[in-house]
A = this chain, B = another copy of it.
Amino acid sequence: MVGNMDNVFEISLLLDFYGMMLTPRLYEILDLHYNNDYSLGEIAEQLNISRQGVHDNIKRGKAILNELENKLGLLNKFLMQKEKASSLLKVVENIDSARLGEKDLQQLDQLKRGIKDMIDSI
């Protein structure tokens, strides 16, 4: 998928994946805006730069993050794994546990927790 991720949730994921490739300053600005819900004005005040400067930095940071994802596609790879795990969870939940013995019920429960853990860790 080559495209441009632009909403808060997507940028937050991109930051999580590729944030270390940004300069600390760019990372800080995007982190404040996308993970901590600071407005441009609040960031400008906090970092003592102009609102326009904040805007430009955010734009530049987003472009770098999107370029990395368009090159590497690793976030997309993860999101596809997450989708697969979610569909597996549905399969597990469809198994009729009434027929199972105590030991198998425990296995099934372990399975559910394991798959949920995989989904959450992405």
Interface residues of A (CB under 8 A from B): 17-18, 20-21, 71-72, 74, 77-78, 80-81, 84-85, 87-88, 91-92, 94-96, 99-101, 103-104, 107-108, 110-111, 114-115, 117-118, 121-122
Which residues of B are found within 8 Å of A91, using beta-carbon distances?
Answer: 107, 110-111, 114
* A17 with B110, Cβ < 8 A, contacts A81-B81, A96-B101, A99-B104 known: no
Query: How many monomers of this protein are in the complex?
Result: 2
Assess the A71–B20 pair: CB atoms within 8 A: yes
Assess the A84–B114 pair: CB atoms within 8 A: yes
Assess the B115–A72 pair: CB atoms within 8 A: no
Which residues of B are found within 8 Å of A77, using beta-carbon distances?
Answer: 78
Assess the B96–A99 pair: CB atoms within 8 A: no
* A72 with B21, Cβ < 8 A, contacts A92-B111, A99-B104, A111-B91 known: yes
Q: Nearest residue in B to A109 (C-beta to C-beta)?
A: B91
A51 to chain B, nearest CB (A): 30
Which residues of B are found within 8 Å of A80, using beta-carbon distances?
Answer: 121
Which residues of B are found within 8 Å of A85, using beta-carbon distances?
Answer: 118
